[in-house]
């Protein structure tokens, strides 16, 4: 017997998405864009994206060269970052509400929550800026956007670990452990990358820029992995679009 399909909003719910699915999709967008741009640059634009001002041999493109120098890499990267930015803002608000719901008697806790939320927003905004304004189009804006991005990203990671301890969330070992490890890894890798970058500029040694580019990849990947820890933080949550209860309708 043919069954009549049930109405879409039979229980008032029009859309339901597990937060874990949202987290995976949000991280996979920049991850795909990053891998595509690097691999495509190596295969089809090797000379253009690995050239340095020193003229010494280099075997890996920097991220700026891979994502903003040639097409179609530039278009793919911009599409992926633009697509993932809206869910990133949503996750930032989710973390803000999460911290507000936690009980902490420390007098500086509310201020640290506000700073952490601001840094989270700035990280996403700076990423959009350095994505859509390439170094070849406007080097000053691209450079300052990168400085803002890495500063806000490291600050957000550090404050997240601090807030996790202040609210006793460090007892949830898996999420806190990975947050702390990824923050330390990101900080150390970025520091070494900066040293290698200046070493390359000062001495123009063959292969130095290749090491810098590889370290740059690790910084980006560890940043993505840090944001992926939302998988554990909101694993039992859902994004739902539904009708409000009768007593709460305006």
| Residue 13 backbone class (left: φ over 0; alpha: ψ -120 to 50; beta: rest) | beta
CB 15 within 8 Å of CB 240:
yes
pTM summary value: 0.90
pLDDT for residue 126: 97
pLDDT for residue 6: 45
pLDDT for residue 1: 45
pLDDT for residue 2: 43
pLDDT beneath 70, residues of the chain: 1-11, 169-172, 246-250
pLDDT for residue 139: 86
């Amino acid at each position: 017997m043919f069954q009549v399909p049930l109405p879409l909003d039979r229980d008032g719910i029009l859309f339901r998405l597990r937060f874990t699915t949202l987290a995976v999709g949000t991280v996979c967008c920049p991850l795909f864009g990053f891998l595509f741009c690097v691999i495509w640059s190596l295969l089809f634009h090797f000379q253009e994206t690995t050239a340095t001002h020193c003229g010494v041999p280099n075997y890996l493109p920097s991220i700026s060269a891979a994502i903003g120098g040639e097409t179609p890499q530039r278009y793919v990267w911009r599409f992926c970052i633009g697509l993932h930015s809206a869910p990133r803002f949503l996750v930032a608000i989710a973390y803000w509400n999460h911290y507000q719901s936690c009980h902490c008697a420390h007098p500086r806790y509310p201020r640290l929550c506000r700073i952490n939320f601001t840094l989270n927003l700035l990280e996403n905004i700076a990423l959009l800026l350095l994505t859509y304004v390439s170094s070849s189009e406007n080097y000053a804006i691209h450079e300052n956007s990168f400085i803002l991005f890495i500063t806000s990203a490291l600050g957000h990671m550090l404050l997240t670990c601090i807030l996790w301890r202040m609210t006793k969330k460090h007892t949830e070992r898996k999420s806190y452990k990975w947050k702390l490890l990824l923050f330390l890894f990101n900080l150390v890798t970025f520091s070494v990358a900066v040293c290698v970058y200046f070493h390359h500029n000062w001495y123009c040694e063959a292969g130095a820029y290749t090491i810098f580019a590889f370290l740059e990849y690790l910084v980006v990947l560890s940043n993505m992995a840090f944001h992926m820890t939302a998988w554990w933080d909101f694993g039992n949550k859902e994004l739902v679009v539904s009708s409000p209860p009768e007593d709460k309708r305006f």
